Amino acid sequence: AQKITQTQPGMFVQEKEAVTLDCTYDTSDPSYGLFWYKQPSSGEMIFLIYQGSYDQQNATEGRYSLNFQKARKSANLVISASQLGDSAMYFCAMSSIYGNNRLAFGKGNQVVVIP
């Protein structure tokens, strides 16, 4: 079974600072993908970044980077130079073959960026 754990309480971040959102996962599947999504208060889910289990390098996408530590089964999201528009819920998710490629979501991290 797949399991995603996001346990951080809500976070306040100063504008222009970096923030790290923790995500740990549990799976016995040899091949899996890890995703981060952003959900603003308006409700839409925005795909941010993807990391494959066999990828040698950490994924980066603009201000987003993923700190992938396979042995520790963690896939933390780093947002650099926070902006007010980054205030949202952030969900870590995993897809795997044994899970029929469905996404298993964590409970989410609430981030509020303050000026």
Angstrom distance (rounded) from CA 100 to CA 33: 12
CB of residue 42 vs other proteins: minimum separation in angstroms?
8
CB of residue 16 vs other proteins: minimum separation in angstroms?
28
Taking CB under 8 A as the rule, does residue 35 contact other proteins?
yes
Closest CA to 53 of 73, 75, 69, 31: 31
Taking CB under 8 A as the rule, does residue 37 contact other proteins?
yes
- Sole residue written with tokens 């609430």: 110
Residues that bind other proteins (CB under 8 A): 31-33, 35, 37, 42-47, 50, 52-53, 91, 95-97, 100-103, 105-108
